[in-house]
Amino acid sequence: MSFQQVVRLNQERIGPLLGKKGAVKSDIESRCGVELSVDGETGDVTIQSTKLTVEMTPFKAVEIVNAIARGFSPRRAFRLLQEDMMLNIIDLRDYHGKSPSTLIRIRGRLIGLAGKSRRLIEELSGADVSVYGHTAGIIGTQEEAKLASEAISQLAAGTSHRSVYNMLQKARTRAKMERMILWEGQKLGP
């Protein structure tokens, strides 16, 4: 069974996909067992695998390329190779239409002054967040991605930063308590 998929990148994201002397491209190809063909004119990246495969590695290669296309660094995008990691893309135009000024305002709310808002979302949810173009990308476990998505959705809809940070902090505290209870249960067990 062969696999082929095309992903379109902005011209400015081709450099991070290729890396110095093609190192990132080669790394994706070797780790995922695929071949990448990059068209520098159109930004189309063809991901193909001719090997018989039952593994999800070609699909992971697509996710990695999509993550890089959405503004993630290759180092962060390679987290997707871990089995429990996922990529979630949120289209910010869904919140207030296609108005350029509204999109700029929403991106500003998500990034914050000197990146503070994005950094806090990452710290409190555990997920990696990238705001690029008209999208917000999230890399994390299912729980981390769900929490970060909720925070981004609330901020994009106009909820105050304080309310969103409080929600994230409560969720983080609840998760710590659940882990502590599990740990104590294992400690007291047979």
35 DSSP β-pair partners? 48
Task: Write the pLDDT tens digit of every residue in 129-142.
Answer: 999 999 999 999 99
109 — pLDDT class (breaks 50, 70, 90): very high
Tell me the pLDDT tens digit for each residue of 49-107.
Answer: 866 655 667 889 999 999 999 999 999 999 999 989 999 999 999 987 778 899 999 99
Q: Which residues contact 76 (CB under 8 A, 6 or more apart)?
A: 67, 128, 130, 139
pLDDT in the model for residue 96: 79
Same domain as 157, residue 101: yes
Instruction: From 30, 53, 81, give the residue that closes a domain.
Output: 81
50 and 77 together in one domain: yes
Number of domains in the chain: 2
Q: Are residues 97 and 129 in the same domain?
A: yes
The mean per-residue pLDDT over the stretch 31-57 comes to: 82
Looking at residue 28, its pLDDT comes to 92
Q: What ranges make up the beta strands (E) of the chain?
A: 3-8, 35-38, 44-49, 86-91, 128-132, 135-140
End-to-end CA distance of the chain: 48
Residues 111 and 29 in one domain: no
What is the domain range of residue 22?
Answer: 3-81
Residue 14: which pLDDT band, with cuts at 50, 70 and 90?
very high
CATH classification at residue 132? 3.30.1370.10
Residues 92 and 70 in one domain: no
